[in-house]
Amino acid sequence: MATRSTALEEHPSAQPPGSGRSEERSLLTGSEIVCRALEDEGVETVFGYPGGAVIPLYDALPKAGFHHVLVRFEQWAALAAEGYARATGKPGVCLVTSGPGATNLVTGLADAMLDSIPIIAITGQVIQPLIGRDAFQEVDITGITLPVTKHNYLVNRIEDLAPTIREAFHIATTGRPGPVLIDIPKTLFLQKHPYTPAQTVHRRGYQPTSVPNIRQVRLAANAIATARRPLVMAGHGIMLSGATDLFRQFVEKTGIPVAHTLLGLGSFPESHPLGLGLMGMHGHKHVNDALDECDLLLNIGARFDDRATGQVSGFAPNAFVVHVDVDPAEIGKNVHTDVPVVGDAAEVLRLLIPEVEQEHRDDWLAWIDSRRDRALDEALEERPAWPEPYTIIKAIAEATDGEAVVTTDVGQHQMWAAQHYGFDHPDRWITSGGLGTMGFGLPSAIGAKIGRPDREVWAIIGDGGFQMSCNELATAVQENLDINIAVINNGYLGMVRQWQDLFHAKNYSEVKIGAPDFEKLAEAYGITGITVRTDAEIRPAIDRARAIRGPVLIDFVIEPEANVWPIVPPGAANSGMLHQQRYEG
């Protein structure tokens, strides 16, 4: 061996071509490697905020082949990345510094985790010799984010940087998607190493099941063949697997009506005779009635969240349950399942469609239709003088032809939008379903618009949530984004107030929330602000906002104590839902 290596030293030409001096020339800094690896993953946009530990990385950014969007708060970087991912189907990327920069991401990561959104979070870490010494801006972010990421890494060697980034994208985007965090010590950004595009990922412990077991698919088909009142519960998984076309084929062939979960909106057109709309806590009456009545519930890509099921013991009490999910841990977790089908929704539907018969179910559809709550439609026709929330949502839907991307915060306005926009297309409805993150609407709209500049984007937000993230108006202005912001302003933390109204004897504790003049706030940011105080002003304001290029804010001042109807009281079964008796005028 010794002789051999001596020979090599004496005769450098004996080395393989491409190494040696040319290798030295191709040495990249860790920062450059991160940028190259992101470029190789097809990243076009990164949402971030610089700070001490990532200064060397930011040094390399001007030469990077992607666009960096400077947010105003790290939490919104994660949610903007989510909005981007949800609008484009591609992973979103956010980049922040160590310590507080990293901890500020936590809410966004948890949000992405619960809604299965692929985002990659890159955090700077203090230099390696200081790790574990409570250094300035040091936190154990991999420890902190363990339960809110699909996987996370602390990279310790520069040679691991590129392969880790490759693996992170693979894990974030395959199987059940989710957030992956990569923590990189500052030391690594400064070291040098050759960059080799990373190879295919192979991890023994990560091989998600995509193609289902045909035996299970046939059991599902048998259940469909014998059911008299079948119902599909359509979840987010249908869109995450890009299966909306296959799903429509399946539904039209089997004639099974579709109940949408909150995140399942858009998986099947609501305007279709078989599209029923929202189920669950604020679901439409006829949808929850259908759940009570169905003898087969076919859940495709939903996780039986408690806001969808209500009290589990009273959920779909007469149904044989088939559950299609890419994540085997979801099977039987919340609701007893008779036939589990583990697989990607698209793969399952591809195998299931040939196994099912063409059917029409007129009696069942007529029964469901007979359970519709007509009172609301009648109430809407009354058109009170003030801007009524349902009317606002319907007016936005009408003006945008149902084609806009709609983002929301969390609360009453979110439920009004879910109930009444009427989603006919996938990837248009961007909302924080699982975590229920206030402030989500504006940053996710920014991410969505950057990802899909060709689409009209509306952020429908409450006055509470807007005050959490209105600092992102500056980002929207800096990026000159053509987004419309509709603040549904009731001067209350509306959903909490509604619960206090209905379940706590109107004890309105800490829900009255003041706000600045939003029109003036818009002006301060250099954008157009419009205030709407009457029903007659709704549509003109929407039309004006659509005509203006750049961000526009409309402040819809609504009746302070308007409630979302219907509502399933917390802890009750869906059958125990409360209905609006009469229009609260």
Partner 1 sequence: MKNRHTLSVLVEDHPGVLNRVVSLLRRRSFNIDSITVGHSEQPGVSRMTIVVLGRDQEVEQAGKQLYKLMEVLKVTDVTPLNCIAHELALIKVAAKSQTRSEILQIAQIYNARVVDASPTTLLIEATGPEEQVDGLLNMLKAFGIRELVRTGPVAMMRGTSTVGVKEGPRPDRELAVAGNGTVAISN
Paired strand residues for 232: 258, 298
Nearer to partner 1 by Cβ, of 296 and 341: the residue is 341
- In the list 329, 385, 536, 548, the residue contacting partner 1 (rule: CB under 8 A) is 329
Residue among 73, 66, 51 at smallest CA distance from 123:
51
Residue 538 in contact with partner 1, rule: CB under 8 A: no
125 assigned to active site: no
# of chain residues touching partner 1 (CB under 8 A): 31
* 173: CB partners within 8 A, 6+ apart: 91, 118
Rule CB under 8 A: is residue 200 a binding residue for partner 1? Answer: no
Q: What CA dihedral angle connects 422, 424, 425 and 426, to 10 degrees?
A: 70
* One residue of 213, 311, 478, 580 binding partner 1 per CB under 8 A: 213
Cβ 467 to partner 1, closest distance in Å?
31
Exposure string of 335-372, with b = 16+ CB inside 10 Å and e = fewer, is: bebebbbbbbbbbbbbbbbeebeeeebeebbeebeeee
The residue from 32, 41, 74, 388 that is catalytic is 74
Residue placing its CB nearer to partner 1 in the complex, 173 or 500: 173
> Which one of the listed residues 239, 279, 468, 495 is annotated catalytic?
495
136, 207, 333, 523: the catalytic one is 136
498 is catalytic: no
Of residues 11, 133, 204, 582, which one binds partner 1 by CB under 8 A? 204
For partner 1, the binding residues in 155-174 under the rule CB under 8 A are 171
- 132 binds partner 1, rule: CB under 8 A: no
Residues in the chain: 585
Q: Is 136 a catalytic residue?
A: yes
Segment interacting with partner 1, rule: CB under 8 A, options 78-86, 198-206, 265-273, 558-566 = 198-206
- Residue 74 is a catalytic residue: yes
Tell me if 56 sits within 8 A of 190, measured CB to CB: yes
Output the smallest distance, CB 223 to partner 1, in A.
14
Burial class (CB in 10 A: 0-12, 13-18, 19+), 480: exposed
Shortest distance, CB of residue 92 to partner 1, whole angstroms? 21
Q: Rg of the chain over CA atoms, in angstroms?
A: 26
Q: Which stretch binds partner 1 (CB under 8 A): 212-220, 234-242, 375-383, 480-488?
A: 212-220
Of 387, 404, 413, 406, the residue nearest 539 (C-alpha)? 387
Quick one: tokens of 403? Answer: 């084609």
Q: Is 312 one of the binding residues for partner 1 (CB under 8 A)?
A: no
Residues with Cβ within 8 Å of 236's Cβ and at least 6 positions away in sequence, in order, are: 115, 116, 261, 263, 264, 267, 301, 302, 433
Is there binding between residue 313 and partner 1 (CB under 8 A)? Answer: no
| Nearest CB to partner 1, comparing residues 129 and 143 | 143
* Identity at 401, one-letter amino acid code: D
Token code pair at residue 225: 């063949």
d(CA 341, CA 455): 35
Q: Per rule CB under 8 A, is residue 205 in the interface with partner 1? A: yes
Distance of closest approach, residue 321 Cβ to partner 1, in angstroms: 11
Examine residue 208 and tell whether it contacts partner 1 (CB under 8 A). yes
Shortest Å distance, C-beta 160 to partner 1: 12
Nearest to 46 by CA among 118, 122, 98: 122
249 is catalytic: no
Binding of residue 340 to partner 1 (CB under 8 A) = yes
Active site residues per annotation: 74, 136-137, 186, 495
What residues line the site for partner 1 (CB under 8 A)?
Answer: 142-143, 146-147, 150-151, 154, 171, 203-209, 212-213, 215-216, 327-329, 331-333, 336-338, 340-342
